[in-house]
Chain A
Amino acid sequence: MSRDPRAFVALDRGTATVAASLVARIDGRWRLLGATAAPAGVETGAVVERLRRRLAASEPELAELLGIPRPGSAVDLPRVACETGRPPEIAVVAATDRVLAPLVAVAAAAGWRVRPVVLDGAQILPVASALADPRVSAVLAGASDPPGADERGLLPDLGAVVAAATDRRPDLVTVLAGGLAAPGSRVEAQFRPDRPGPTVLGPSPARDGGEPLRELLDGLRGGDHDGRRSLAAGATTLAEVLRRRIEVVEIGQAGATRIVAGFTAGRVLPTRWASVPAAALLPPAFTEAHLDAVAGWLTTPLDRLRLRDRLRELALTPWGDATGDGALLRMAAARAALERLRAATPAMDEGSPPDVVIASGGAWAVAPGPAVALALADVMRRAGIRALGWDHARLLAPLGAIEDEAERRAVMADLRDDLLLPLGSVVMPAGLRAGRLAGHLSVKGEGGPAELDLVPGGLELVDLPPGERAIVELRFRDAVDLGVRVKHAAVEVTGGLGGLLVDLRDVPLRLPDRPERRRDLLAAWQGALWAGMDA
């Protein structure tokens, strides 16, 4: 950004979507004037021009004041931008499955597509071929520290195949982790000293929950303006601005991100985040299990062959067929992706639950806000009470690209009311006894009081528009888990497009096995929050 801009454009260019927002300084503070998005094939200039055209049509004086009244005049506005590309591929190689599993888990959360390669019981030719594959841009080889009895006999071969891979591709980035990482180890000694590619000695995946190795691998995948790193930076600043513990779940066409950023007692807590390509809306290695997961969330009957074809089309044209049941298909795929993201980041479910959960990314772009709120409640099931928000303008990531922390904080503090679309709040107790009334809920808000009996298994909606606050008082017959075990609680909640969701369904969610009953149940829940949708 320039030293003292009056307006700037925030750009988030992803693999499927280019999103642009026009931000201007009005009456001494930054305001979001407009946001739009288009398929990634559209030039950035055309998207920015659309924003300018609409501003000039609706607020010509403001457009004049900002110096963008004429076509093409927005081209010179300062920009903050980030970009998300297709994730690179890493071959993760170890002697046994026992050693491989933690290495794969860490690499998969570091923004890499992972190709696991295990030596034990494998033919040497497929192993060597996998490492030589041109799509693989790095190799992570690891061993226990110290090596276990099950892998010791295989380590010389492990060193030989990795060294052979660096012979074939001297520029290959090679990471040796755990027991292979000793400087001058027998594995490293087999590499040609004059090869141009770096050999990096990394920590064990067991150290500090794998975070040091994850950070190392994330840094190796490159990308100066990487959208997912920017998103983590933006989320950290937002937590500081809101003084809340926030969780961001971003689902995109080529990958997904989960970020937990916190703030407590006047200080920012370390942000934990993971970028998981396997949790993309439609991962390239789409298996029957992926298909089953999407089918499990569908509210319309669709046979497997047609479902597979529709998903293939969605992968080819992420913006196509987004109306009618195409929108439902997207939301089913988004829920399945969110499940994968959560499964790949179990450590982020530990500790206190977040105060705010924020949806981000192109997967949510076509659905109405309340439907997004339900999807978050369906999958992000942790006992507690929290607000739900939506990074509707996809501003978080580009704002995270502002390098100066103080400037970023100032901009985000001004934009705090524009940045997130309030989806509502969710009350999600766990440990309710089925088959009898669990208690009673009363809401005291500006719209008048509301009373509700708490029936386990149900999903109740209380109208609470955006901008409104209310006090929710919960009285349970028995102590339940609401983040902490309580029988009686009173908390302030905020409204949103979906209002207040009183979610008394199981934690985790249990759905009927029979497809028809499952679909009917999902459709009933969705129908309450997606007005006008038939299924």
Chain B
Amino acid sequence: MIDRDVLAEIPARPLLVRGLEARFPLPPGDRAFVVAGGSVTAGDALLEHLRDRRIDEVDVHTAPDAERPIAGTRWAPPPGRRHRDHDGDGELLTPLPGRKERWRLVAGDHRDRVASPLGGEVTAVRPGAEIRIRASGPSLRGAFAAGSAARGRLELATDPFGELRPGGIDVGRAGSILVVGSRIDAEALTRARAMGVRGIVVATLPGKELRDFQASERRQHASLHPTAPFGVLVLDGAVRRSIATPVAALLERFAGTEVALLTDPPALVFDEEPVDLPAPAPDWVRVRSGVNAGLEGRVVALVGPRRFPGPVTLEAARIAVEGEPSLDVPIGDLERFA
């Protein structure tokens, strides 16, 4: 096998990341149910989300010797009816200039309780900004994601090279996070969401399908009805290729378990790390991009600068692909798995 020091020249993609910090948006008006330093388990109430955010103006009476109120703190009307100009509670946004003790308040009537899709330690709660949770389990990073964070049972819907069509999704998949192979279109994504699927893991998603799906998501969220969380995790990029076999083996190992699909950062978080995880050979590489994208094999040698079509000269590695003659590939097109 090739020397490990030589392999170090090929970019490595970590299969599993430990201690991933997940971010959940907490816009002004939303209320956190967790505190920094605390722990959370999957399914615990994380935050209360306002669906109909509005600005009210309220008098915030404070004692004469008290400090002025702080933006971002919760406010509720004092008990009793006296001097009461507002019934609901909310979050103080900004003071009204020139109006002593008069503040803008972010309030709303329709509230959704959002559950944490993962377990871990709450590292930060910033009102008006975000909640951060450090995952207790290992995670698989993706290239990008869309939709919202979700939790479900991981199921393999196709092989790593496959494509899931809308007709292949039914209510039997409700509650699951489906691994759907090389690509999926927006129609299949919206059907999956309608069938109660919680998320999709796919190798690639073309820009057109991504934009169509995001537009559909915006329409969903514009309604006043609560929507179930649904996310799409894209592992590689926009141009079609299959899921890398080491990643597919990992997903196969975790199939049937509950996982969290995160959108920020894009990742799939597993609850725990089994001892019998499949480990790829150190010299196993995948051609991630370029004309040979999708090929996998073993590194035979680094061959130094080579002239490729263009013509351009790039550092290259020679890889042996099963059943095919070995070929020289630019190192920038390769990834190995660590």
Residues of A bordering B, CB below 8 Å: 36, 38-39, 41-43, 45-47, 49-50, 54, 71, 123-125, 128-129, 132-134, 156-157, 159-161, 163-165, 167-169, 305, 308-310, 312-313, 316-317, 319-324, 326-327, 366-368, 531-533
A308–B304 Cα distance when bound, in Å, is 32
Choose one: A38, A308, A320; the contact of B290 (CB below 8 Å). Answer: A320
Assess the B238–A312 pair: CB atoms within 8 A.
yes
Assess the B312–A368 pair: CB atoms within 8 A.
yes
A156-B97, A156-B98, A168-B126 known; A129+B8 contact, CB < 8 A = no
A326–B290 Cα distance when bound, in Å, is 8
Assess the A309–B239 pair: CB atoms within 8 A.
yes
- State the Cβ distance, B229 to closest chain A Cβ, in Å: 21
B89 within 8 A of A: no
B152 within 8 A of A: no
A12–B333 Cα distance when bound, in Å, is 21
CB under 8 Å from chain A, chain B span 290-306: 290-291, 293, 304
Encoded as 1 (CB less than 8 Å from any A CB) or 0, chain B from 10 to 43 comes to 1111000000000100011000000000000000
- State the Cβ distance, B87 to closest chain A Cβ, in Å: 20
Assess the B143–A125 pair: CB atoms within 8 A.
no
| Contacts A/B (CB < 8 Å), 28 sampled | A38-B331, A39-B11, A42-B8, A42-B11, A124-B55, A125-B93, A128-B128, A132-B72, A132-B126, A156-B97, A167-B71, A168-B126, A168-B129, A169-B129, A305-B207, A308-B238, A309-B206, A313-B237, A319-B332, A320-B288, A322-B330, A323-B314, A323-B330, A324-B291, A327-B310, A366-B310, A368-B312, A532-B311
Encoded as 1 (CB less than 8 Å from any A CB) or 0, chain B from 49 to 61 comes to 0000101000000
Contacts of B304 in A (CB 8 A): 54
- State the Cβ distance, B233 to closest chain A Cβ, in Å: 14
A313–B289 Cα distance when bound, in Å, is 8
A47–B5 Cα distance when bound, in Å, is 10
Assess the B9–A38 pair: CB atoms within 8 A.
yes
Choose one: A45, A160, A161, A321; the contact of B333 (CB below 8 Å). Answer: A321
Assess the A39–B332 pair: CB atoms within 8 A.
yes
Assess the A161–B314 pair: CB atoms within 8 A.
no
A161–B72 Cα distance when bound, in Å, is 12
A366-B314, A368-B312 known; A134+B237 contact, CB < 8 A = no
Assess the B290–A321 pair: CB atoms within 8 A.
yes
Q: Which residue of chain A is the closest to B97 with respect to CB atoms?
A: A156
Contacts of A308 in B (CB 8 A): 207, 238
Assess the B9–A125 pair: CB atoms within 8 A.
no
- Which 4 interchain pairs have the tightest Cβ spacing? A319-B332, A320-B289, A156-B97, A164-B71
B106 within 8 A of A: yes
Assess the A134–B289 pair: CB atoms within 8 A.
no
A157–B104 Cα distance when bound, in Å, is 11
Contacts of B23 in A (CB 8 A): 134
A169–B130 Cα distance when bound, in Å, is 12
Assess the B28–A128 pair: CB atoms within 8 A.
yes
Q: Which residue of chain B is the closest to A168 with respect to CB atoms?
A: B72
- State the Cβ distance, B143 to closest chain A Cβ, in Å: 5
| A-side interface mostly | helix
Contacts of A54 in B (CB 8 A): 304
Contacts of B27 in A (CB 8 A): 129, 132
- State the Cβ distance, B331 to closest chain A Cβ, in Å: 7
Contacts of B10 in A (CB 8 A): 42
B110 within 8 A of A: no
Encoded as 1 (CB less than 8 Å from any A CB) or 0, chain B from 62 to 81 comes to 00000000111000000000
A167–B332 Cα distance when bound, in Å, is 46
A38-B315, A125-B53 known; A317+B288 contact, CB < 8 A = yes
A324–B314 Cα distance when bound, in Å, is 12
B281 within 8 A of A: no
Assess the B239–A323 pair: CB atoms within 8 A.
no
Assess the B332–A312 pair: CB atoms within 8 A.
no
Assess the B8–A43 pair: CB atoms within 8 A.
yes
A533–B208 Cα distance when bound, in Å, is 30
Assess the A367–B312 pair: CB atoms within 8 A.
yes
Choose one: A46, A134, A305, A327; the contact of B130 (CB below 8 Å). Answer: A134
B127 within 8 A of A: yes
Assess the B97–A132 pair: CB atoms within 8 A.
no
Contacts of B290 in A (CB 8 A): 320-323, 326
Assess the B5–A312 pair: CB atoms within 8 A.
no
Contacts of B333 in A (CB 8 A): 319-322
A38–B305 Cα distance when bound, in Å, is 12
B172 within 8 A of A: no
Choose one: B71, B106, B206, B308; the contact of A168 (CB below 8 Å). Answer: B71
Q: Which residue of chain B is the closest to A43 with respect to CB atoms?
A: B8
A129–B308 Cα distance when bound, in Å, is 49
Q: Which residue of chain B is the closest to A17 with respect to CB atoms?
A: B332
Assess the A132–B206 pair: CB atoms within 8 A.
no
Contacts of A132 in B (CB 8 A): 27-28, 72, 126, 128-129
B119 within 8 A of A: no
B95 within 8 A of A: yes
- State the Cβ distance, A73 to closest chain B Cβ, in Å: 13
A42-B10, A156-B98, A322-B312 known; A317+B93 contact, CB < 8 A = no
Contacts of B293 in A (CB 8 A): 321
Encoded as 1 (CB less than 8 Å from any A CB) or 0, chain B from 199 to 239 comes to 00000001110000000000000000000000000001111
A156-B97, A167-B70, A321-B290 known; A39+B331 contact, CB < 8 A = yes
Assess the A160–B96 pair: CB atoms within 8 A.
yes
A122–B9 Cα distance when bound, in Å, is 51
Assess the A366–B312 pair: CB atoms within 8 A.
yes
Which of A71, A124, A533 has its CB near the most chain B CB atoms (within 10 A)? A124
Encoded as 1 (CB less than 8 Å from any A CB) or 0, chain B from 309 to 338 comes to 111101100000000000000111100000
A129-B128, A310-B239, A321-B289 known; A164+B94 contact, CB < 8 A = yes
Assess the B28–A309 pair: CB atoms within 8 A.
no
Assess the B9–A50 pair: CB atoms within 8 A.
yes
Contacts of A159 in B (CB 8 A): 97
Contacts of A156 in B (CB 8 A): 97-98
A134–B330 Cα distance when bound, in Å, is 38
- State the Cβ distance, B52 to closest chain A Cβ, in Å: 12
Contacts of A323 in B (CB 8 A): 290-291, 308-310, 312, 314, 330
Contacts of B130 in A (CB 8 A): 134
A533–B293 Cα distance when bound, in Å, is 22
Assess the A46–B5 pair: CB atoms within 8 A.
yes
- State the Cβ distance, A529 to closest chain B Cβ, in Å: 13
Contacts of A42 in B (CB 8 A): 8-11
- State the Cβ distance, A136 to closest chain B Cβ, in Å: 9
Contacts of B55 in A (CB 8 A): 123-125
Q: Which residue of chain B is the closest to A186 with respect to CB atoms?
A: B97
Assess the A128–B11 pair: CB atoms within 8 A.
no
Contacts of B315 in A (CB 8 A): 36, 38
- State the Cβ distance, B17 to closest chain A Cβ, in Å: 14
A358–B105 Cα distance when bound, in Å, is 54
A368–B308 Cα distance when bound, in Å, is 12
Assess the A161–B94 pair: CB atoms within 8 A.
yes
Contacts of A36 in B (CB 8 A): 315
Assess the B9–A322 pair: CB atoms within 8 A.
no
